[in-house]
Each structure stands twice: as structure tokens, then as C-alpha cells.
Amino acid sequence: MTLKKIIIAASLTLTVAAAAFAEEPKNAPVATGAATAVTAPSMTGVPVVAAQGAATPAPAATPAPVKKRELKANKVVTLSMFAVIIGITMAVVVWAAKQTKTASDFYTAGGGITGTQNGWAIAGDYMSAASFLGISGLISLYGYDGFMYSVGWLVAYITVLLVVAEPCRNAGKYTLGDILSFRTDPKPVRAVAAISTVAVSTFYLTAQMVGAGKLMALLVGVPYKSAIIGVGILMVGYVVFGGMTATTWVQIIKAGLLMSGAALLSVLVLAKAGFNPMTFFESIVNSPDIQKHVEVMMLKDGITLTGIDAGQRFLEPGLFLKNPLDQISLGMALVLGTAGMPHILMRFFTVPTAQAARKSVIIAMFIIGGFYVLTTLLGFGAAIHVTPQGILSVGAGGNMATLILAQQLGADIAPIVGDLFLAFLCSVAFATILAVVSGLVLAASAAIAHDIYVNVIKDGHADQHEQVMAARITSLVVGAVGIAIGLMAEKANVAHLVALAFAVAASGNLPVVVLSLFWRKFNTGGVISGLVVGTIASIGLVMVSPNMTYPKKVAEGAMKVVIAMEKKQAALAPGVFLSEGDTKALAKAKVDSQLDGTSIMGLEKPLFTLKNPGLISIPLGFIAAILGALMFPNKRSEEMFDEVYVRQNTGLGMAKAIDH
């Protein structure tokens, strides 16, 4: 355990400067008199920056006017490619449906997934469109700091590898509840574990569904509601008919497509630099557009940089990630939350041996690591060839950077190649969302059907046919609820939900999993205390954090914008007026300056200043779990620890791990 603790501590140190998905940009740079940054629903959970009010103008070096770019995929080509990918994956579902006869088949593919296959599936679960589009977009606008976002995702798997992969595979069967209930009172523990699982899955699922709708509406012109319903029907089909086998292969196919697309585009980016890394980075430093972009950002912090100094600053930390405590909190939530995510934990029950579980994590780490190297190339490549100003003219969050780059580099070869590249990447982004939501629906339905229905309501007395039917009906219901939430959340700010999902998993799920596996005195009181306190603390802190909307705070910020814009107008020569962007921003700020009221919690300003609650809620989850176990000691739980210890280290009796 000492080595594990040392490596995990090192992992956390590496991610002190990193943040999870939902760090909200402050003072985001904007093109030609653009606007103050506020978060808006992103493509898949990574927050984007939407125009709302105008930023305080820089005293000098305003960027040259940028011609607004249009990004529209060729509808016929893109929808045709969508149809091909959907056709392939549905063929997989038909095949998988024939293999799915028992509850074990439905939840864990009968334990017949190899380590290599599971590694690709885990990578597919984790490499979402948020990673592909969001991270490369952040790099294209913020350079080094955008790359630091991906470090936490990769380091998180060290925690998974060293702490949970092998023990969970050996001690559990289908769900988080199986692991936690082995030496505790099963009914209350399963009920609480199921509620936590559904909460985490819902937060994550909502962000993914909204992202799918926005992506389809933006790129292909498919109405938001139609896109949500289409995604929902497909994900329900994957899960209800194919179970874990279909979900696994959809994730493998998606991961292969994503890596292929990123690799191909990266080769084109490197080809522009003659495959010379020195030339590539020199072109970043010497780019006038990047220099001007950095100059504007630094002026907002009262620092003057010009020329090569500004270009060099793009390759250094601190342009985006500026609050150390927020960074630490987000890093903790990400690194520890991954090990508590229900759909990730379920993947370790699909392999036949503990060795395969370890192998799958290592393979996933290599794939994910390689993927983030490619997204780094794409982000910097977009900054060079598309320019930050061009990216901002399409969308202030930068999420479209990779897609614009693909269309532009393809068009350099031939116009139709640009359309094909863009269509392919749009299709891959769509497939990533389908794969992720399928895994989430399966995790939520397993918690309800297996933990609640089979083991709490039916007291474990349900035959295989009844278990499979319960699982399929529950999946259908969960999918329908996911569609409904997606439709209702069209105009909601869901950017923080992904980070909240990780925070809940890190604060509630991880403490009880780790203590169940490694602490002899842990018992029912500890499980329930840890899950309840960790989950409520993380959700509660977010509800009183800066993630919520505070009308009076918005009005104060808007009034500052109005004053700044009016001063800017007064400083202009007679007959010269504000740019179109500044004029719209001023009009918007005047409206916002009249806002009044409180947040949904009745607050005028945040009580908790961090955007992610991990720094507080994770220790609270561990403390509550420990105190709960000490306050309600249970001799049976202590006596059964030896059996759990043997199971988690050898895998003996794994199939009977929940029969007690």
C-alpha cells in the first residue's frame, strides 16, 4: 500500500495545475470588440464561452477585424456518413442480441471481453467529443493551459490501475452495489448505492444529450429536438437489445474511428511543418495572429507583451488556469472521481481474469495518452492555420477549432476532400456521444434493475429471464427519461454537470469503495454515511457556488461593461463609432445591467467560491464514512473482511460474490 500511496500522491501533484472539464474561462479573449466570457452549454460537457456583455477594452493593440467564418457541414455527405456508422453499429447490436441470454450476458458480456478489447472500450468510454473538440479548442485559444486539461484525465487511470481495477473485478459481479454489499446489510446499502449511481449517471448523461443536440443543430441543421430524440432512440436500442456486448463493441468502433481521424489530421498538420517539431513550434511563436491574440489577453491582466515575447507566452502556463485552489479542487475531483464512476467500474466485470483487468487499464492509458498527444497537435495546428481570431469568429468557446482545421486542410487538397474530412469528424463526434450515453444508460439501469428490483424488491429470487426482462425494461425507462431531460435542458447551462458528476463520484463512491476493500472495520453505517454525506455535500456546494446564476452579480458586471464601452466611445475621434461587435455588446450590457433577483437558492452572491467542490466534499466523504463505521460497529463485517481480502487478491469465488 505504501507504493500505491506514493504514486497516487505523485499523480495528484501532477494535476495540481490541471483542471477537469468544467473550469469556466475567465476573461476569455474575443475577436474585434467581442464580449465578456460566461459559460454556456457545451458540445459535450466541456464549457464553452458565450458572448454576454463586452469585455473591458484593452488600451491598445486591438485585433484587426476578422472576417466571420462559416462552418457548415455538407448535409448530404455528413448524413450519409452518419448512416454508414449507424448501420455498422446496428449490425453489431443485432449480432450482440443473439449472444445476450442471461443477466451476466446483459450486464458484463458474460465476462468474455479480452483485456485488449476492454482497454479499447474503456478508452472509448473516456475519449468523448468533449475531449476531441473541447480540449483541442482550448489549446487553440490558450496554448499550454489547454494541454494541461488533458493531464488529469490521463493521470486518473493510475488511481484506477493501482486502487480499484483488480479488487473490484475480483470482489464484485455487476454493479457498485455488489462490491459494497458483500459484508454489509445488503438492502439499504444497495438502495443508497443505486441512488448515487443514478445521480452521477444523470449529471453526465444530461451534458452528453444536450451536447448531441447542439452539435447536430450547429453542423448539419437538424433541429435540436429531433437530434435528441434520434440519439435517445439509438442509445436505447444499443442497450436494450445488445446489452454490454453491443455497448462494448460500439465503444471499440468509436475509439478506433476517433484515433484514426485524429491521427490522419495530425499527419496533415505535421506535413505543413515538414514533419519538423522545431519548425512547428517556431511557427507558433512567430505567428502574428497568435502574438496579437496573446497581447490582448495579457493586456486584460495589465501586462504588456508584444511580438515574439507574446508568441512565446502562448507556450507557457497561466493564460487560462489562474486560480490555484480551483485547479487543485478540479484536479482532485477528476483524478479520484474516475475511479468512482459507475460506468467505468462496470467495465472491470466484463473481463475473465484480474490480469485482464490490469491489462485493460494499461492499454486504455496508452490509447488515451496517444490521443491527447494528437489533440495537442490539432489544437496548436488550428492556432497556426485557422488562427485564434478565426476560431473565435465561429464560436467563442473554440469547440469548432478541429472541425474548421479539418475542412481547411482537406480543402487545400481538394474542396470535396474538405467536405469529406469535416463529415467524417462530425460523424465520429456523433458516434462518441452515442457510445458514452449507452454506457451511462447501462450503468443506471443496472443499478435500478439489479440492485433495487432483483436484490431489494425480489430479495435475490428472480430467474434469468426475469432479470434480463427487468434490465431491458429499466434501460428503456432510463433512456426515455434521458431524452426528456435532454429536451427540457435545451436552454439550460449544463457546463458544470460533468465536473459535478466526477465530484459526486469522488466524494461519495470512491471513499466507500476503497474503505470496503481495504479497511477491516468498515461496515453498513460507514457505507451509508459516506455515500449520503459525500453526495449531498458535493451537490449542495455546487448549488451555492459560482456555477449558479446570480442576477445582481450579472448586473454589476454588465454596468462595468457599459461604463467601459461609453469611455471607449468617448475616446474615439468625432464621427467614428464603436464596431458592430462593441455596439451589440453595449446594448446587451445595458439590458443585463437592469437585472435583479437571486439565484435558485435565494442567494445574491455565492457562499462557496470554488466552481468545483472536490477540495471540500472529498475529505468530507472520507471523514463521514470513517465516523459512520466507528459509530455503528458490526462484528460480522469485520469477520468477513478476510474473505473479501482473499477474493479481491485472488478472484476465488467471484461468481458467488453476492450470494449471501
The DSSP line for 189-234 is: HHHHHHHHHHHHHHHHHHHHHHHHHHHHHHHT---HHHHHHHHHHH
Residue 639: Cβ within 10 Å count: 11
Mean pLDDT over residues 545-549, rounded? 78
CB 343 within 8 A of CB 442: yes
- The domain of 199 spans 2-548+606-652
Whether residue 512 has pLDDT greater than 90: yes
**C-alpha pair distances (Å), 47 with each of 17, 137, 210, 225:** 18, 11, 12, 21
Residue 461 CA from chain centroid, whole number: 38
Mean pLDDT over residues 456-482, rounded? 88
Whether residue 43 has pLDDT greater than 50: no
CB 227 within 8 A of CB 79: no
The model's pTM: 0.78
**Rounded-to-integer distance, Cα 104 and Cα 110, Å:** 5
Q: Which of 561 and 439 is assigned the larger pLDDT?
A: 439
pLDDT of residue 42: 38
Residue 105 lies in a domain: yes
Residue 537 banded pLDDT, cuts 50, 70, 90: very high
**DSSP labels, 63-120:** PPP-PPP-----HHHHHHHHHHHHHHHHHHHHHHHHH--SHHHHHHGGG---HHHHHH
CA dihedral over 483, 484, 490, 491, signed as positive or negative: negative
Mean pLDDT over residues 572-594, rounded? 77
Query: Per residue in 233-267, pLDDT tens?
Result: 988 888 998 899 999 998 999 899 999 999 999 99
Q: Is 26 helix (H, G, I), strand (E, B) or coil?
A: coil
CB 96 within 8 A of CB 249: yes
Q: What's the CATH number where 647 sits?
A: 1.20.1730.10
Residue 570 has phi, psi (to 5 degrees) of -65, -30
Mean pLDDT over residues 306-326, rounded? 84
Residue 38 forms beta bridges with which residues?
50
pLDDT of residue 168: 81
Closest CA to 336 of 123, 645, 617, 24: 617
pLDDT of residue 381: 94
Percent of the chain residues topping a pLDDT of 70 = 86
Closest CA to 17 of 315, 313, 322: 322
Hey, which of 14-18, 68-72, 226-230 has the most confident mean pLDDT? Answer: 226-230
Residues 6+ apart with CB under 8 A from 411: 417, 418
**Rounded-to-integer distance, Cα 60 and Cα 571, Å:** 12
Residue 185 has phi, psi (to 5 degrees) of -70, 110
Please return the burial class of 177, using the count of CB atoms within 10 Å of its CB with bins 0-12, 13-18 and 19+: buried
Whether residue 105 has pLDDT greater than 60: yes
Q: Which of 523 and 19 is assigned the larger pLDDT?
A: 523
Residue 454 lies in a domain: yes
CB 213 within 8 A of CB 413: no
Residue 543 has phi, psi (to 5 degrees) of -65, -20
Residue 560 lies in a domain: no
Query: Per residue in 146-183, pLDDT tens?
Result: 877 777 777 887 888 888 888 888 776 788 888 888 88
- What cell numbers appear for 254 in the block? 468509436
Please return the burial class of 57, using the count of CB atoms within 10 Å of its CB with bins 0-12, 13-18 and 19+: buried
pLDDT of residue 63: 43
Whether residue 38 has pLDDT greater than 90: no
**Rounded-to-integer distance, Cα 598 and Cα 543, Å:** 13
Whether residue 522 has pLDDT greater than 90: yes
Whether residue 30 has pLDDT greater than 80: no
Q: Is 40 helix (H, G, I), strand (E, B) or coil?
A: strand
Residue with cell 501532477: 14
Residue 606, CA atoms < 13 Å, CB-side half-sphere: 16
Whether residue 35 has pLDDT greater than 70: no
Residue with cell 436505447: 236
- What cell numbers appear for 164 in the block? 480499484
Measure the N-to-C terminal CA separation of the chain; round to a whole number of Å.
29
**Rounded-to-integer distance, Cα 252 and Cα 263, Å:** 16
pLDDT of residue 134: 80
Give the orientation angle of helix 464-488 with respect to helix 186-219, to 10 degrees. 50
Residue 267 amino acid letter = V
pLDDT of residue 17: 34
Query: Per residue in 600-657, pLDDT tens?
Result: 777 888 888 887 888 999 999 999 999 999 999 999 899 888 888 888 777 665 544 3
Residue 311 amino acid letter = G
- Number of structural domains (the chain) is 1
**DSSP labels, 460-520:** T---HHHHHHHHHHHHHHHHHHHHHHHHHTTTS--TTHHHHHHHHIIIIIHHHHHHHHH-T
Residue 558 lies in a domain: no
Calculate the CA dihedral of residues 452, 456, 457, 463 and round it to 10 degrees: 90
Whether residue 300 has pLDDT greater than 90: no
Please return the burial class of 116, using the count of CB atoms within 10 Å of its CB with bins 0-12, 13-18 and 19+: middle
Residue 515 amino acid letter = L
Residue 274 banded pLDDT, cuts 50, 70, 90: very high
Residue 48 forms beta bridges with which residues?
40
**Rounded-to-integer distance, Cα 415 and Cα 224, Å:** 28
Residue 582 lies in a domain: no
Mean pLDDT over residues 478-485, rounded? 89
Mean pLDDT over residues 511-532, rounded? 92
Give the DSSP letter of residue 607: S
Closest CA to 34 of 313, 420, 344, 300: 300
Query: Per residue in 331-368, pLDDT tens?
Result: 888 888 888 888 888 888 898 888 888 899 899 989 98
The number of residues making up the chain comes to 660
Whether residue 101 has pLDDT greater than 90: no
Mean pLDDT over residues 22-29, rounded? 38
Please return the burial class of 477, using the count of CB atoms within 10 Å of its CB with bins 0-12, 13-18 and 19+: middle
Q: What is the mean pLDDT of the chain?
A: 80
CB 437 within 8 A of CB 235: yes
pLDDT of residue 301: 66
Q: Is 27 helix (H, G, I), strand (E, B) or coil?
A: coil
Mean pLDDT over residues 124-128, rounded? 79
**Rounded-to-integer distance, Cα 132 and Cα 215, Å:** 13
